[in-house]
Structure 1
Amino acid sequence: MRPEKRFAFIVLLMAGLFSQLFFENKACAYESLSYLYGGNTATYINSVAATGANLTTVCPDYFEINSSGTLRVTSKADALFVNSMHAKGIKVIPYLSNNWDRTLGRAAVTNRAAFAVELAAKVKELECDGVNIDIQNLTEADRNSFTDFVRLLRAALPGNKSLWVCVAANPWGINTGWQGSYDYKTLGESSDSIFIMAYDEHYTGGSPGAVASLSFVEESITYALKYVPPAKIIIGIPFYGRYWKQGAATGGYGITIADVERLAASLQFSAGYDNTAQCARGTLVVKDTDNAYIWGSSRLSAGTYDIWYENEASIEKKLLLVSKYKLAGAGSWALGQEPQRFWKNYGLWLFGRPFSDIENNWAQSYILKLTQEGIISGFPDKRFAPEGKLTRSQAAAIFVKILGLQNETGSKPFADTAGHWAQKQIAIARQYGIFAGYENNMFHPDKNITREEFAVICDKILFSPDTVNFAQKVYSDVSPETNSWSNKSIIMLSMNNILSGYPDGTFRPRNTISRAEAVRVTAALLDYPGGFSMSPGKIQNPASIEPR
């Protein structure tokens, strides 16, 4: 074989391999949660919205304990919030707290049989997805009764409700005091997930230092792995720091990361990064005339403060431990205490940076969502190529996958798809009338697909009654006259928030659709409440979409 021909063959072979991997690899699904504390339904909804598509679960402050050891439902419990989260595909697993009050915690576990039944009934009544037990500050003397309470609660909860248990970080392997109240092994067996509160390494009243150094978090994980399977472990990260006023008798009081950054921007602040602890730290100078207010309406008095806190670099390093140890996921305390920009690449860090080229990309959350659901993947060199062009074969594979048709046999292949990585998917798409070919039984699998072609196919597979005004002008460059075969589809999908145009009011129908654009549209298709018009055994008069 001549050298240039051998090179061309290798290129074609790798291109086919890359395309195949784009659709066949499946990523692990990680749990991504955050606690909701100190707000109300309106603030909670806004805080969740600020995270984009990064959360799978929220844990609001709905449950507390009466002095009698019975359940106290807080005024925060709200069906509107639960329903709004479910509409977004986010689970609601409220947490039960004793607010560090040992007496209340002991009252609950003493009354554990009745308390478990009462709590399980309330979870079901509120239509929540489970409950998160966050009882702290017990001791080794309460270990057995607390463990038994969790066992009883698991038995009382319906099988479709999750039971999570918060445990103290214990990298030292302590079996007395607060850490000694948690029997990791038995709690792991009785619950669906163990949430490690991997923070407060340094605390109120203690010496200055990191809230959660990287070594502290990692050693907390490795200790837990001795007793709990990794698939049940969720690692907690702090969205807060702690401050110590120089010259004061005590310190270590909490401060949100958002407050740290706000004060740093407006007052005298010297920022740094501690390479040993792998977290941020800084020195803040407050004058008498400064309005140094922080969370809870507290005001910092004049003086110099040493502050230890998290930034994007330290949060990323902690989240990367999830993929390193194959954990169930990560959660944060507490939502709304972080700068909003943290969420821009949060999912990327949580997934262990599966792709090297989607940082800060506008479609990152959609790419990660479909990767998590096993619909798409990337290239062997860890690229996703979001601005790359989508081909007809790749589009066929997407539609076959989202329609659940991948186990169908398909019709006879096109003349130019024999041996192609997507031969089967193309044959299935042909059988169901999703795609048509060109003359002479050709499909042109590696030909790019345009935005209007993609729109027409999306419209075809959706169950979408004609309830919109097709005469309206949605885009300046789309009309019945210039886009006779695609105008209705573009308008229908745009009015259902599946398609969108450009800031200048154009749709650019004949432009090739990029991989990022296709992923965004596909994610919207999966969220469309009307469902699909075809599935195995259910085809509504398929009519092939002719290629242009």
Structure 2
Amino acid sequence: MQIHVVGRGESLWQIARNYGADLNQIILANELQNPNMLVVGQSLVIPELNREYVVQAGDNLWAIANRFGVSAEELAAVNNISNPALIFVGDMLELPYSNHLVQAGETLWTIARNYGVTVNRIQQANNITNPSFIYPGQTLRIPAALKPITEINAYSTQINEQGGQEVLTVGRHLTYLSPFMYSITADGSITEMQEYPLLEASRATNTSPLLVITNFQEGGFNSDLAAAILRNPDLQDTLITNILEEIRTKGYTGLNIDFEYVYPEDRENYNNFLRRVVGRLHPEGLSVSTALAPKETGEQEGLLYEAHDYAAQGEIVDFIILMTYEWGWAGGRPRAIAPINKVRDVLDYAITVIPRNKIVMGIPLYGRDWEIPWVEGTLARTISPQEAVELAGRYGVAIQYDNTSQAPFFRYVDEEGQGHEVWFEDARSMQAKYDTMKEYGLRGGSYWVLGNPFPQNWPVLQDNFRVRKW
């Protein structure tokens, strides 16, 4: 897979020809509604012939495997497909092997180096006993290059059938699914949630569901509610018992705790609560994770930050999701949602106090549309990356790219003469985030939130990592 940025005057036909790619495969992979209307600055994922295949209407896994001379089992394994029936139009599959026609002067070592695989793997794939004995005109099967393994979590607020269908579609790319959310109550109980479509889809895609608890109440995170629990060990025991009952009943594999705006004086109470939770859940084989605010120093002030003890929680829980997004929040000035320079500032601090193999980097799957000039007290509209590109096309404006934040943006004027500024994510910005995950050696990434159409993300993720399944 390659990423192409549309230039002025380019057509999709020209782009496909330049890459030696299949036009229809590009259309499917990017879910282009109108292939004749490209936007200058728009990024496209370009599937590579002979290495990747985008599912078309009428396809099934067995027919695709047969077409490329591999077994359905091999094709399923390399793509984390647990149920062969769960492939979908537009889904880009990686092929277990590509073909290489040996040229004069080539050796097995040079071929292996060019494809990023070992000589031994090529030998095994082609039953070659003597690596010196290859010849021009011979066709070799080249195994797909090995990729770093990562864990991917996704939060979902759509607990209905539509949300379940999305998990069926993208679940092979997920390690964990976190239906959002159960709220704690002042008596140690938790609210109810009818998230059965999500849980069924997680089982169908071999995705581990995490039960999410928060101190969210009446439209916001409630500091007093958190304090009521964190200052009372008896209520904590009641809460943990109720959580365990829900986990057992619904088949969750772990717990994710998202307590926000906790009073600073409850910092150690929060740590002790987590120790109590781990002591109850670990013996049952259940994981415990937390979601923490994006801090750049241990002394960062503010109600959102002070009670989130990176060092202590890094010791106590199995992993930590850093909420590295919302710099461009709905009530603030227009800016990138997750500027990579700010994300890196958070990671630079986090890795000094949390083991890297416990850090999961938050990644947004959405954008925002602000009215400009910006007026304090106004709220931006949250949009999907797909909708952002459609907006740029509708108003005939080019998409720009900010290299500091590694994020695309554009400005337009609507029919009423109102100016707008839009920041969102595209294939380039996601590549920058995945590069950062690899550079810092992190455990993985966590999406906020499913439900925003962003077809380019999944091929880019797949091109960078193999996602772990438990």
- Cα shift at 1:26: 6.5
- Cα shift at 1:157: 1.2
Q: Which residue is 1:53 aligned to?
A: 172
For the 8 Å contact 1:202–1:209, the answer to whether it is kept is: yes
Q: Is 2:284 the partner of 1:165?
A: no
Q: Which residue is 1:93 aligned to?
A: 210
- The residue type paired with residue 70 of structure 1 is S
Question: Match for 2:272 among 131, 145, 148?
Answer: 148
Superposition map of 1:409-488 within 5 A: none
SS class of match (2:170): coil
- Cα shift at 1:252: 5.3
Q: Which residue is 2:230 aligned to?
A: 109
Q: Which residue is 1:397 aligned to?
A: none
- The residue type paired with residue 154 of structure 2 is S
Question: Match for 1:282 among 405, 410, 416?
Answer: 410
Instruction: Give the TM-score of the pair, scaled to structure 2.
Output: 0.64
SS class of match (2:457): helix
SS class of match (1:339): coil
CA pair 81-10 structure 1, distance change in 2 beyond 3 A: closer
What is the rounded CA distance, in whole Å, between the counterparts of 1:81 and 1:308 in structure 2? 29
Q: Is 2:141 the partner of 1:20?
A: no
Superposition map of 1:206-245 within 5 A: 206-245=332-371
What is the rounded CA distance, in whole Å, between the counterparts of 1:214 and 1:134 in structure 2? 23
Question: Match for 1:138 among 262, 287, 290?
Answer: 262
For the 8 Å contact 1:270–1:284, the answer to whether it is kept is: no
Q: Which residue is 1:320 aligned to?
A: 435
CA pair 116-20 structure 1, distance change in 2 beyond 3 A: same
- Cα shift at 1:269: 4.4
Q: Which residue is 1:304 aligned to?
A: 419
- The residue type paired with residue 232 of structure 1 is K
With 158-167 and 202-211 compared, the bigger mean Cα shift is at 202-211
- Cα shift at 1:189: 1.4
- The residue type paired with residue 273 of structure 1 is Y
For the 8 Å contact 1:164–1:193, the answer to whether it is kept is: yes
Question: Match for 2:160 among 27, 41, 45?
Answer: 41
- Cα shift at 1:50: 3.2
- Cα shift at 1:310: 1.6
- Cα shift at 1:10: 8.7
Superposition map of 1:495-514 within 5 A: none
Q: Which residue is 1:339 aligned to?
A: 454
Question: Match for 2:107 among 4, 7, 11?
Answer: 11
Instruction: Give the TM-score of the pair, scaled to structure 1.
Output: 0.55
| Amino-acid identity (%) | 22
What is the rounded CA distance, in whole Å, between the counterparts of 1:241 and 1:156 in structure 2? 39
For the 8 Å contact 2:227–2:263, the answer to whether it is kept is: no
SS class of match (1:86): helix
What is the rounded CA distance, in whole Å, between the counterparts of 1:185 and 1:35 in structure 2? 24
- Cα shift at 1:141: 2.0
- Cα shift at 1:222: 1.7
For the 8 Å contact 2:167–2:198, the answer to whether it is kept is: no
Question: Match for 2:308 among 176, 182, 203?
Answer: 182
CA pair 106-324 structure 1, distance change in 2 beyond 3 A: same
SS class of match (1:179): coil
For the 8 Å contact 1:32–1:329, the answer to whether it is kept is: yes
What is the rounded CA distance, in whole Å, between the counterparts of 2:120 and 2:365 in structure 1? 40
For the 8 Å contact 1:202–1:208, the answer to whether it is kept is: yes
CA pair 10-263 structure 1, distance change in 2 beyond 3 A: closer
What is the rounded CA distance, in whole Å, between the counterparts of 1:10 and 1:277 in structure 2? 42
CA pair 216-12 structure 1, distance change in 2 beyond 3 A: closer
- Cα shift at 1:243: 3.5
SS class of match (1:284): strand
Question: Match for 2:190 among 57, 71, 76?
Answer: 71
SS class of match (1:226): helix
Rg (Cα) greater in structure? 1
CA pair 14-202 structure 1, distance change in 2 beyond 3 A: closer
Higher strand share: 2
Q: Which residue is 1:503 aligned to?
A: none
Ranges in structure 1 where 5+ consecutive residues have no aligned partner: 1-6, 289-301, 352-367, 374-548
Ranges in structure 2 where 5+ consecutive residues have no aligned partner: 1-102, 125-142
CA pair 254-154 structure 1, distance change in 2 beyond 3 A: farther
- Cα shift at 1:221: 1.2
Name the structure, 1 or 2, with higher relative contact order (CA <8 Å, separation 6+).
2
- Cα shift at 1:334: 0.3
For the 8 Å contact 1:140–1:175, the answer to whether it is kept is: no
- Cα shift at 1:30: 0.8
For the 8 Å contact 1:139–1:176, the answer to whether it is kept is: no
- Cα shift at 1:163: 0.8
What is the rounded CA distance, in whole Å, between the counterparts of 1:243 and 1:345 in structure 2? 24
CA pair 109-268 structure 1, distance change in 2 beyond 3 A: farther
For the 8 Å contact 1:31–1:330, the answer to whether it is kept is: yes
